[in-house]
């Protein structure tokens, strides 16, 4: 039988105070919704995302999973019910998109607990350090008897450390039946998903709680909680990187993305930021204050300090990218070096080439981007300006301070600067004239 995850993502997220839907705010460079969908995809056969009206950007993020729309926001049970036609004939779990960090192992434990046969409904629960704002999970004989919100809890119930995380799982028939039975006779006139616990117990079905870590089940409803979730995810990513053989000299200052891939014996110095889409091969050194995104760094390369690798960049084996060097959509060949104060955009640079300090590839003419092609073993002199489209063939040489606007043939030296003229004694005359004035 199939398993289905219903992800509720229709909330407006007013506490975020943002024009961006709450579930599209990013953690480690990835929207919250996509964190949860990735975990669900490892466990469930089908995923259905419930949206509010006019949430096309969230629908795009949910693709290729099925999407249904809750036209009227009448509560969480009402939202889940909008997906009933897609429940299938197996287990159905209902999750919240603003609980983005649940790991696949916890979702699998939830399914396994439901399948154990002694409970018709299973839920995820947690023990936060500060449980005050969470609903308490009240148990009796090892099973859940009810969930009570903090505001409604007695002093004894407020002492309970086990809290509701909002994730429920039942077989499709029970889930559909209980959702249809939920009433809205409460102060807000909404249909609440938590009422399923009472309905399950009333129908003679036991309710089981599965505990998972708070860092997985934490809700993200504000900018403060978003920052707290970011810190928790970064701690996990840093730990995983180090356990896989990378050295982070000062881990708390390194920021990784959800998909950052660091090889073995990589050294990352302090204050380095990895945007999405970065792969780093073995034995790479990334020096302090560098920023990398959507790029690949090959084995043995040295990056930084203060380097920036932008999308579409590939750094070759044992190549060097030095301080205040920026690469964009550029292939820096094996053993090539760009060590100082340069911008290299839309370029291919051959192996063994040296890029002198202050070099610029002028890749944009105000209307379109153009490429610079630099061959192998080329020496680009200090403060060269390469006006694309232009090609420097293998073994060519540009003199320092040159503006290169034409192709340079193999083993040719190019001079693209004004002729120097020396005026004997003019410096002394100039100083004397300034003193008189």
Residue 127 pLDDT greater than 80, yes or no: yes
Q: What is the pLDDT of residue 50?
A: 98
Q: 296 and 176: one domain?
A: no
Round to whole Å and give the CA distance between 135 and 194.
10
Residue 148, domain member (yes or no): yes
The residue-averaged pLDDT of 286-313 equals: 98
Q: Which domain holds residue 9?
A: 3-217
Residue 187 pLDDT greater than 80, yes or no: no
Q: 296 and 236: one domain?
A: yes
Q: 89 and 180: one domain?
A: yes
Task: Write the DSSP assignment of 295-314 as a string of letters.
Answer: EEE-TT-EE-SS-EE-TTEE
SS3 assignment, position 283:
coil
> Quick one: pLDDT band at residue 188, thresholds 50, 70, 90?
confident
Answer with the one of 217, 247, 270 that is the final residue of a domain. Answer: 217
pLDDT, tens digit (0-9, with 9 covering 90-100), for 155-173: 999 999 999 999 999 999 9
Q: 251 and 104: one domain?
A: no
CATH number at residue 396: 2.160.10.10
Residue 435 pLDDT greater than 90, yes or no: no
Task: Write the DSSP assignment of 86-147 as a string of letters.
Answer: G--SSEEEEEETT-TT--HHHHHHHHHHHHTSS-SEEEEEE--SS-TTSPEEEEETTEEEEE
Residue 342 pLDDT greater than 80, yes or no: yes
Q: What is the pLDDT of residue 186?
A: 79
Residue 162, domain member (yes or no): yes
Q: What is the pLDDT of residue 203?
A: 95
Q: Catalytic site residues?
A: 340
Could you tell me which of 98, 131, 91, 95 has the C-alpha nearest to residue 113? 91
Residue 317, domain member (yes or no): yes
Which has more confidence, 318 or 12? Answer: 318
Q: 241 and 100: one domain?
A: no
- Which of 263-267, 381-385, 421-425 has the weakest average pLDDT? 421-425
The residue-averaged pLDDT of 326-344 equals: 98
Residue 420 pLDDT greater than 90, yes or no: no
Q: What percent of the chain has pLDDT over 90?
A: 90
Q: What is the pLDDT of residue 22?
A: 93
Q: 194 and 298: one domain?
A: no
User: How many separate domains does the chain show?
Assistant: 2
CATH number at residue 133: 3.90.550.10
Residue 269, domain member (yes or no): yes
Q: What is the pLDDT of residue 222?
A: 94
pLDDT, tens digit (0-9, with 9 covering 90-100), for 356-374: 999 999 999 999 999 999 9
Q: What is the pLDDT of residue 104?
A: 98
């Amino acid at each position: 039988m199939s398993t289905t995850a219903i992800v509720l993502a229709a909330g407006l997220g007013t506490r975020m105070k943002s024009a961006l839907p709450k579930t599209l705010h990013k953690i480690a460079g990835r929207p919250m919704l996509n964190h949860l969908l990735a975990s669900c995809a490892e466990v469930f056969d089908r995923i259905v995302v419930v949206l509010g009206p006019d949430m096309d950007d969230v629908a795009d993020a949910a693709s290729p999973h099925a999407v249904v729309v809750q036209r009227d926001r009448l509560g969480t049970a009402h939202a889940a019910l909008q997906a009933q036609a897609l429940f299938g004939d197996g287990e159905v779990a209902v999750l919240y998109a603003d609980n983005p960090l649940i790991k696949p192992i916890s979702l699998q434990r939830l399914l396994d607990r439901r399948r154990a046969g002694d409970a018709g409904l299973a839920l995820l629960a947690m023990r936060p350090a500060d449980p005050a704002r969470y609903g308490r999970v009240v148990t009796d004989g090892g099973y859940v008897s009810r969930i009570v919100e903090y505001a409604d809890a007695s002093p004894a119930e407020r002492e309970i450390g086990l809290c509701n995380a909002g994730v429920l799982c039942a077989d499709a028939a029970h889930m559909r039946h209980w959702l249809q039975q939920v009433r809205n006779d409460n102060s807000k006139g909404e249909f609440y998903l938590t009422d399923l616990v009472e309905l399950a117990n009333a129908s003679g079905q036991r309710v089981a709680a599965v505990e998972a870590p708070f860092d997985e089940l934490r809700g993200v409803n504000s900018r403060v909680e978003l920052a707290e979730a970011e810190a928790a995810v970064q701690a996990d990513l840093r730990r995983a990187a180090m356990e896989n053989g990378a050295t982070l000299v000062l881990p708390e200052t390194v920021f990784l993305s959800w998909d950052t891939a660091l090889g073995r014996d990589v050294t990352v110095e302090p204050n380095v930021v990895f945007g999405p889409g970065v792969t780093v091969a073995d034995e790479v050194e990334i020096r302090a204050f560098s920023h990398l995104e959507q790029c690949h760094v090959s084995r043995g390369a040295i990056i930084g300090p203060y380097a920036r690798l932008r999308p579409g960049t590939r750094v070759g084996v044992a190549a060097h990218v030095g301080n205040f060097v920026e690469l964009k959509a550029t292939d820096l060949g094996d053993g090539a070096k760009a060590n100082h104060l340069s911008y290299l955009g839309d370029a291919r640079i051959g192996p063994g080439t040296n890029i002198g300090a202050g070099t610029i590839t002028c890749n944009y003419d105000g209307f379109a981007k153009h490429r610079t092609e630099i061959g192998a073993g080329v020496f680009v002199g200090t403060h060269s300006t390469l006006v694309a489209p232009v090609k420097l063939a293998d073994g060519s040489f540009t003199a320092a301070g040159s503006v290169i606007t034409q192709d340079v043939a193999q083993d040719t030296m190019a001079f693209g600067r004004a002729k120097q003229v020396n005026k004997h004694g003019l410096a002394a005359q100039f100083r004397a004239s300034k003193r008189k004035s």
